[in-house]
Amino acid sequence: MKRIIHTHKAPAAVGPYSQAVEAGGTLYISGQIPLNPENAQIVTGGIREQTEQVMKNIGAILKTAGYGFENVVKSTCLLSDMVNFKAMNEIYAKYYPAEQPARAAFAVKELPLGVLIEIETIAIK
């Protein structure tokens, strides 16, 4: 059985998908982009500000589903340009001070709404 996760503390899905789905003790969080859930606008600033907003969005979804960052086992970070990797990594690392999850990070040609970063996440209990 699956459970659809939705919170107003993270941006609403901008397409035909759920913010997250829980199935069999595993939480699958759809790719989060740096939209402020209060106004549905892309946060201003560069990669640091955008990464911070993405991580806040992920945190809100984790909390709503009854998980925390300590439950994250895998992240996939999509970047608009690998030149942003180091700065993204510095912000990302604040959320995983110990027992970091497995991760892939790579650049893609383009991201939704022209953002600099998107992160999808998998967590388990």
Task: Choose among 52, 63, 53: nearest CA to 27.
Answer: 63
Classified by CATH at the fold level, domain 2-124 comes out as: 60s Ribosomal Protein L30; Chain: A; (3.30.1330)
Name the residue ranges covered by the structural domains of the chain: 2-124
Quick check: pTM over 0.85? yes
Q: How many CB atoms lie within 10 A of CB 119?
A: 23
- Separation CA 35–CA 23 (nearest Å): 26
- Separation CA 58–CA 55 (nearest Å): 5
pLDDT of residue 14: 79
- How high does pLDDT run on average in the chain? 96
Q: What is the pLDDT of residues 71-111, one digit of tens each?
A: 999 999 999 999 999 999 999 999 999 999 999 999 999 99
